[in-house]
């Protein structure tokens, strides 16, 4: 059978777009655009434009900004480190410094090899019973400066302010008398200060207050010092013939030892155990070696 032929009137003319030959909702499309009943274009719906986010910085730009901030950060850290070092140096130099114990003259309180923390700010606030570090007042020491590796190490520690410049010229003893005190030892173990007998609990076991007899009055601005190991301490008692009469000028005091800091097994504070609590204060005479 032959397929039915479409009526020529029902077909679009050749060359005419198909969209122009059909009706939509009773209206004929014009120029390929469909129109609604109101005569408006049937365009896609419009929306409020969306603001685009700011584009991220390119990796190169981010790297450049990071590179710029790195020197500033490093410079800030360097300033902090320098400030800390300055503060530490000031503390070590002017507030607290450590000293090594070179001998057994202060046993059993201090042993050879101990290191003590010494406050440097209260050199004129010294009292009986304090353990003080002072510079050699009148050639009490015979000092031989170290050489070789030992000398290099000492110079390095001095440069770092871990040791004082004249570290080999210091002594450490206990203050027994201050300006005005009248101190008497009978050479048989009795020690009195301003008429009050003193019991010293810190003395090395088996040692008496003094096997050397003396009778002195401490002038203003001076100290009378002795080691806790009385049988092995070349202290004020043995320098009474010196220019200062065995007295140590307050100007020579470097600081007051407060505690043992090394070795860790020896950590402890230093005190006099209340040995001088009952001793009365008296007015000091300014003359070195003045009689009571």
Q: Which residues are catalytic?
A: 105, 173
Pick from 226, 249, 216, 237: nearest CA to 123: 249
Joined tokens for residue 168: 């080999």
Residue 153 in tokens = 């190490």
Is there a contact between 216 and 285 (Cβ–Cβ < 8 Å)?
no
Rounded CA separation 253/258 (Å): 14
What are the two backbone dihedrals, phi and then psi, of residue 272, each rounded to the nearest 5 degrees?
A: -100, 0
Give the end-to-end CA distance of the chain in Å, rounded to a whole number: 159
Residues 6+ apart with CB under 8 A from 21: 12, 13
Secondary structure percentages of the chain, helix, strand, coil, to 5: 25, 20, 55
Q: Kind and range of the H or E element at 75?
A: helix 59-90
* Burial of residue 159 (number of CB atoms within 10 Å: 0-12, 13-18, 19+): exposed
Torsion of CA 170, 181, 275, 189, to 10 degrees: 90
């Amino acid at each position: 059978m032959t397929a039915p032929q479409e009526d020529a009137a029902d077909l679009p003319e050749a060359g005419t777009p198909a969209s122009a030959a059909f009706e939509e909702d009773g209206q004929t499309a014009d120029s390929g655009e469909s129109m609604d009943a109101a005569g408006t274009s049937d365009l896609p719906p419009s929306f409020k434009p969306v603001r685009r986010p700011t584009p991220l910085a390119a990796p190169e730009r981010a790297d450049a900004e990071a590179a710029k901030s790195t020197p500033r950060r490093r410079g800030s850290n360097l300033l902090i480190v320098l400030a800390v070092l300055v503060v530490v140096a000031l503390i070590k130099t002017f507030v607290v410094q450590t000293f090594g114990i070179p001998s057994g003259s202060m046993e059993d309180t201090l042993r050879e090899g101990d290191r003590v923390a010494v406050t440097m700010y209260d050199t004129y606030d010294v009292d009986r019973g304090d353990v003080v570090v002072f510079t050699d007042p009148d050639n009490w020491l015979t000092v031989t400066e170290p050489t070789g590796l030992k000398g290099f190490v000492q110079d390095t520690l001095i440069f770092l302010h871990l040791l004082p410049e004249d570290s080999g010229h210091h002594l450490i003893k206990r203050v027994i008398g201050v300006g005005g005190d009248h101190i008497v030892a009978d050479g048989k173990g009795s020690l009195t200060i301003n008429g009050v007998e003193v019991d010293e609990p810190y003395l090395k076991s088996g040692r008496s207050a003094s096997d050397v007899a003396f009778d002195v009055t401490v002038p203003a601005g001076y100290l009378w010092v002795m080691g806790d190991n009385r049988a092995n301490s070349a202290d004020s008692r043995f320098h009474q013939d010196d220019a200062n009469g065995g007295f140590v000028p307050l100007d020579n005091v470097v600081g007051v030892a407060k505690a043992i800091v090394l070795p860790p097994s020896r950590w402890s504070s230093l005190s006099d155990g209340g040995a001088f609590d009952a001793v009365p204060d008296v007015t000091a005479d300014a003359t070195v070696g003045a009689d009571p």
